[in-house]
Amino acid sequence: MDLKEYLKRIGFEGEAQADLRTLKNMQTSHLLTVPYENLDALMNKPIILKNELLYDKIVRQSRGGWCHELNGLFHWALEQIGFETWFGNAKCRSRDGKQWCRDFDHMVCLVRLGDEIFYADRPFHPILIRDGEVSKQATGTFRLSFCKQTAEWSLCHRGKGASGEWATMLKFWTQPFLLRDFQDTCTTYEKGLDQRESLLGVTPVVVKSDPADSTATHMIIGNKYRLYCNVGLKNKTTCLKEDHVTLEQLHWKLKNIFGINLELEQMDSFYRHLPQAHIDRAMGR
């Protein structure tokens, strides 16, 4: 890895050291510059979890990726800086909220600083792994809780709903895993073979925070574009704008909002076959 090029890609400024300040600034920079996206899966390009391939895609091609790719490369950069870090197995709730996804559904980075371990994941700032730890961030308030019987940690979120109730977003374990341990699940999602996460293999999902406003998020699902903002004392998520996008408009938004420059011919191959039912369900309709 050319660490300088990686740090330039994510917009990190200053000296990178193995400390909490650097970790926090790297996560913030990454969130504002590198989009979450699944477009390779729609263009029949295999997603291979190897460091050099991830570096080429995200840094050299100025693309994004989904969690296994983004956190996979982030982990490599942390190692290059000198952090003690490893991968943790995590799983999110299914889209219907009624069940949990499979093991290795989500990848998190765990980082040791002195006697403390931090949860490091692309969408968030670092969170100290301690039972009951509460972290207030731009997108709401987060809390960690530990279950001794299962040795699992739960990441809970409060802020999207007006009630202010805690909602469990994901579960994770602190046992170390390797990058290749996530490949099978990554391939399963890429091919749309798991109905709990079938959306990733059939329709565009692109998400990026607004560099000018960390409370605002741009999102594309299928042929729909939305701009969200977390507002108010309870950080209630509000949709500020929603548009139906044509192929040409999607091409423009990917390039000018998300920094993804694809050929129209590449996009046409999946745009013509968008599953409207999946899109409507994902958009809450």
Q: Dump pLDDT digits (tens) for 157-185.
A: 886 554 567 888 899 999 999 999 999 99
Among 261, 79, 71, smallest CA distance to 170 is for 71
Quick one: pLDDT at residue 241?
80
Tell me: pLDDT of 111 over 90.
yes
- For residue 213, tell me if it sits in a domain: yes
Residue 241's φ and ψ, nearest 5 degrees, are -155, 140
Give the model's confidence band at 122: pLDDT under 50 very low, under 70 low, under 90 confident, else very high: confident
Structurally, how many domains does the chain consist of? 1
Cα–Cα distance measured from residue 256 to residue 265, given in angstroms and rounded to the nearest whole number: 18
* C-alpha dist (Å) from residue 151 to 86, 142, 145, 180, 284: 17, 19, 11, 23, 33
- For residue 207, tell me if it sits in a domain: yes
- For residue 172, tell me if it sits in a domain: no
pLDDT digits (tens, 9 = 90+) for 221-243: 888 898 887 654 444 567 778 88
Quick one: pLDDT at residue 189?
84
- For residue 232, tell me if it sits in a domain: yes
Does residue 141 contact residue 135 with C-beta atoms inside 8 Å?
yes
- For residue 273, tell me if it sits in a domain: yes
Tell me: pLDDT of 22 over 80.
yes
- For residue 248, tell me if it sits in a domain: yes
Give the model's confidence band at 214: pLDDT under 50 very low, under 70 low, under 90 confident, else very high: confident
- For residue 122, tell me if it sits in a domain: no
Tell me: pLDDT of 29 over 90.
yes
Give the model's confidence band at 139: pLDDT under 50 very low, under 70 low, under 90 confident, else very high: confident
**Domain enclosing residue 232, as ranges:** 201-282
Tell me: pLDDT of 83 over 80.
yes
Specify the CATH number for the domain of residue 247.
3.30.2140.10
pLDDT digits (tens, 9 = 90+) for 34-75: 999 999 988 889 999 999 999 999 999 999 999 999 999 999
Tell me: pLDDT of 30 over 90.
yes
- For residue 140, tell me if it sits in a domain: no
Quick one: pLDDT at residue 191?
78
